[in-house]
Amino acid sequence: MKFLRMRPGFGEQLLAEGDPEVAEDQERLVEEFRRQLDQGMWAAVPVVNESGRREAEMVRAFEDVPLATDRVIFFPRAAGGAV
Amino acid sequence: MTIALAATAIVVVALLFEISLPWLDRRADRRRALKEARLREPGNSALYDPGRERRAEQRARELLRSCVNEEEWSMYRDLGFIRVWGGQSGGVGGLASRGRDLRGVPYAYLVYPHKPIVAYLPQTGQLLNEYCVEFPDETRPYGSPRLPDSDDVLAKWMALKGDEERLISEANMHLPGRQLDPARVRRDLWRLKQWQRERAKARRSGATAAEARFR
């Protein structure tokens, strides 16, 4: 599983990578996940539904990340734009 | 008397200027040094690197392509925006949650890079609202909080697909025309219809080159 973060001037940046079924990796992933959320990021997981269409799920906790997913994408939280 | 006062004032000003000259010099030197130091900072916008921005956008496009459906990717590549159907992320749905009772009528959003999301009714083409939303990265790694265009589109796409209600509630809602020219949006809707027609035709005939006409 890869953790990617959208960054201005970068495109996506690899934050962490590991197998969530390996205890050591999972600990690292959980820590990174929390750090990103603490920094105000939103997390989304690209998924494919039963009909084969690509969708996305927003996740608020590491436990919500589907085990089968290969990447979690972090991006800055939404804010109201030009008023 | 007035002339004497004016002459005295001129002399005083001249003396003050003379006295403050070294101080002004020192101040100018300090300003120059500060400016040079700022120019050397990695995140300074004066060291704007268009190559970096292009590379970032290229990476963002690849990420977008790997996440959205083939039709949505082609739409973005050919038309510069993506249409996302509303009310698909479960829950109440974005427009319904903002007091808009659509009575089950399908609605959709046009997602542009770094522009408001436009909600509309595909059946009639009626524009409903503009939702102004940004994803500012306050760490500003290169001096700007703005994501690359394709990352901005992907962030909106994922948020609309994953939690439409949350995104819409964070956005500033306006009537159509606040930031985007409604005539331009209507033209984009027309382009979208033509594009879909051409795509359907191309699919029927097995050709794919027809998409190039809209680039």
Cα dist from A68 to A45, A71, A72, B116, whole Å: 11, 9, 11, 34
Mind telling me how many Å the CA of A13 is from chain B's nearest CA? 10
pLDDT digits (tens, 9 = 90+) for B121-159: 999 999 999 999 999 998 888 778 899 999 999 999 999
Cα dist from A28 to A19, A20, B29, B198, whole Å: 10, 9, 49, 49
DSSP A17-53: E--TTSHHHHHHHHHHHHHHHHTTEEEEEEEE-TTS-
A47 to chain B: nearest residue by CA?
B67
A13 to chain B: nearest residue by CA?
B59
B61 to chain A: nearest residue by CA?
A11
Pairs of residues, one from chain A and one from chain B, whose beta carbons lie less than 8 Å apart: 129
Measured CA to CA, the distance from residue B171 to residue A79 in angstroms comes to 6
The partner residue sitting opposite B142, judged by closest CB among A9, A54, A56, is A9
Contact A6 B67 (CB under 8 A): no
Residue B99 has pLDDT above 60, yes or no: no
pLDDT for A64: 94
ipTM of the complex: 0.95
Contacts of B88 in chain A (CB under 8 A): 55
pLDDT digits (tens, 9 = 90+) for A6-37: 999 988 999 999 999 999 999 999 999 999 99
Q: Which residues of A, range 47-76, sit inside 8 Å of B by Cβ?
A: 53-58, 73, 75-76
pLDDT for A83: 58
- Stated pTM of the model: 0.78
Contact A81 B171 (CB under 8 A): yes
